[in-house]
Structure 1
Amino acid sequence: MYLTVSPDPGMAWIGNEYAMIKKRLEQVQAGVRKGVFAGLKLAGHKPGKAIKNLHYGREAGQVLDIFLPKEGFRGTQVVFLHGGGWRSGSKDEYAYLGAAMAAYGITCAVVGYRLYPEVRYPLFVEDVAHAVSWLRRDGLRYGFADAPIYLMGHSAGAHIACLMALDERYRALAMLDETSVAGVIGLSGVYRFRPETSPVYSDIFSSAEPGFESVKPINYVGDKKVPILMLHGDKDGVIGIKNAQQMLQAAASVGQKAVLHPLPGYGHVRPIFDFLPFMPNHQRTMSVLLSFMSGARL
């Protein structure tokens, strides 16, 4: 004799209501976020020229923006990658950052890349490799010079930037030789982490080997690798500053130039707001970045 239990229609209704409420909250949050970043764009610096939505690939997410200085070009170029845990965020949110770099005489490309769950590792890193290759080839028509670049990213974007700069596989895919990347800059970056502790991150990096060692930038430091600049808040509750300290120690142990600037009182998101001209530490942060890009000892 078998006991058959029928689904409780009331429980199904509650589940559906919860899903609808969750979806609505996510839509509201997305709308608020979009409005905030649109406001930041209006309040930020004005670039000499902004060229939007240039496609470096066939997929919808494979697009980038280029911000050009009005005058006083320093001969320096930056490729910026947004954060969002490899599953959220957009290049469109960082027009104010690209404009800030251009206002200081630096050409900046803000790159979009495909996100989880549409893609998983390593496809989002490969997207960035294709974007860099496109910039060095087709970007010439839009003012991006065939010259060494700095790779800069926030959070997960810093993770991708480091893999691009330090892992030979992605440098080869982007057709970058050892002189093509001048340095890498991480803002609240991810350099060492454990995807296995999260079902979502385990899925994002599911193509990597057990242990996930190949996806950790800390494993690619070397004495002949490019300089690293890290800015990290000492109150970062998402990615603790210990992550950057471990990257600094690993680089120093093999003779790679690396600098960590702790940011007192800063949380995870706060460093990216320093690109806005009205923020109290704007000049200081820009001075740190410009000094690093000029090759000065920090």
Structure 2
Amino acid sequence: MRKTRSSLYVLAAAVAAVGGLVACSPLTAINALSPAGSTDTSTDIAYGIGARLKLDVYRPARPAAGAPVVVFFYGGNWNSGQRKDYAFVGRALASRGIVAVIPDYRLYPQVRYPDFLDDSAQAVAWVAQHIGAYGGDANSLFVMGHSAGAYNAAMVALDSRWLGKQASSPAILAGWIGLAGPYDFLPIENAAAKPVFHFPNTPLESQPVNHLDGKKLPALLIAANKDTLVNPVRNTGGLATRLRERGVPVTEIYYDGVSHTTLVGSIAAPLRGLAPTLDAIDQFVHKNASLSKVQAM
């Protein structure tokens, strides 16, 4: 969603730290300060037909056999964003032994709900079929997102319609991760999101909280206590409560040192002092990847 002023102050410091990149965007600066290190990247891989239906894969230079896989969806009100801006997420996950996939998806005004969910599911289905060629284990597959991207991840994980259209189901997933996600946002107050979701005729089925009766996938839900864009109590807290009531294992974390925007920024090396977000993701993925392998035996 939109950046807050306080978030931009922190990100502006990252920009200023890159002498030759003073005029660049905060995300460009964060990427410049997040070197690839011992990771490899494969870019511009088509998972469907169309300019936006491409993805990048980040992996450890020497991935361990059966490395877990995370498909990450970025935010941006479903009307902005591009995968290259989140290279720092892919590199950070790869540095922890995780094969990371970052897809683009179509945005408003080219499309509206639910078309970007079809794209998200198509990307996940492609990963499930092809990630072995990049050192990843399709049996340890997770979806993850920030803000609007967390919504996409939640819907792919909780609502079987989307992967069902790809001749698959959420059963292929080992778990999902949401960072500052909007999971229960009716009536819509965000002006940018209104046309995306056909306001005032937004269907109830568009809300992740209305899709809780499927496979009980482990969930990691992280939010910023100071989030002024997506209410953490209603969205993260409310969804966590409803999932637990249905016997779903949920890890629920709130951080004080970050905002809506800097929560995802804290994954990057220069901003990790803000919150241990990467550590929490790392622990959740490896723990549940191991459990999924045991259950598959």
TM-score interval w.r.t. the shorter chain? 0.7 to 0.9
Q: Calculate the TM-score normalised by the size of structure 1.
A: 0.81
Equivalent-residue separation in structure 2 for 1:43 and 1:144 (angstroms): 26
Give the superposition deviation at 1:218.
Answer: 1.0
CA contact (8 A) 2:159 2:214 kept: no
Which string of whole-angstrom CA distances, capped at 9 and with x for unpartnered residues, describes residues 47-91 of structure 1? 521011111122111111000111353621000000001111111
Equivalent-residue separation in structure 2 for 1:268 and 1:186 (angstroms): 12
Aligned to 2:267: 275
Which string of whole-angstrom CA distances, capped at 9 and with x for unpartnered residues, describes residues 257-294 of structure 1? 11210011321111111122232437832221122113
Label 1:163 to 1:223 Cα distance change in 2 as closer, same or farther (>3 A): closer
In structure 2, what residue type is equivalent to 1:107?
V
Equivalent-residue separation in structure 2 for 1:222 and 1:258 (angstroms): 15
Aligned to 1:213: 204
Q: Cα RMSD over matched residues? A: 2.5
In structure 2, what residue type is equivalent to 1:171?
L
The aligned length equals 265
CA contact (8 A) 1:186 1:230 kept: yes
Give the superposition deviation at 1:141.
Answer: 3.7
Corresponding position: 1:181 with 2:173: yes
Which string of whole-angstrom CA distances, capped at 9 and with x for unpartnered residues, describes residues 229-284 of structure 1? 11100000100211211111111222211121001132111111112223243783
Q: 1:69 aligns with which of 36, 60, 72?
A: 60
CA contact (8 A) 1:222 1:255 kept: no
Matches within 5 A, 1:21-100: 35-46=25-36, 47-73=38-64, 75-100=67-92
User: Which segment drifts farther, 93-102 or 287-296?
Assistant: 287-296
Secondary structure of the structure 2 residue equivalent to 1:279: helix
CA contact (8 A) 2:39 2:58 kept: yes
CA contact (8 A) 1:195 1:212 kept: no
Equivalent-residue separation in structure 1 for 2:232 and 2:275 (angstroms): 22
Give the superposition deviation at 1:138.
Answer: 3.8
Equivalent-residue separation in structure 1 for 2:212 and 2:26 (angstroms): 37
Aligned to 1:231: 222
Percent identity of paired positions between Structure 1 and Structure 2: 28
Secondary structure of the structure 2 residue equivalent to 1:129: helix
Q: 2:101 aligns with which of 92, 106, 109?
A: 109
Give the gaps of 5 or more residues in structure 2. 1-20, 289-297
CA contact (8 A) 1:223 1:255 kept: no
Equivalent-residue separation in structure 2 for 1:212 and 1:228 (angstroms): 25
Corresponding position: 1:289 with 2:281: yes
In structure 2, what residue type is equivalent to 1:227?
P
User: Which segment drifts farther, 52-61 or 143-152?
Assistant: 143-152
Q: Calculate the TM-score normalised by the size of structure 2.
A: 0.81
Aligned to 2:243: 251
Aligned to 2:111: 119
Label 1:234 to 1:53 Cα distance change in 2 as closer, same or farther (>3 A): same
CA contact (8 A) 2:154 2:208 kept: yes
Label 1:34 to 1:62 Cα distance change in 2 as closer, same or farther (>3 A): farther
Equivalent-residue separation in structure 2 for 1:147 and 1:32 (angstroms): 43
Give the superposition deviation at 1:198.
Answer: 5.1
Give the superposition deviation at 1:196.
Answer: 4.4
Equivalent-residue separation in structure 1 for 2:205 and 2:136 (angstroms): 31
Give the gaps of 5 or more residues in structure 1. 1-30
Equivalent-residue separation in structure 1 for 2:266 and 2:43 (angstroms): 23
Aligned to 2:154: 162
Give the superposition deviation at 1:210.
Answer: 4.3
Equivalent-residue separation in structure 1 for 2:35 and 2:160 (angstroms): 36
User: Which segment drifts farther, 271-280 or 118-127?
Assistant: 271-280
Secondary structure of the structure 2 residue equivalent to 1:202: coil
CA contact (8 A) 1:223 1:256 kept: no
Secondary structure of the structure 2 residue equivalent to 1:170: helix
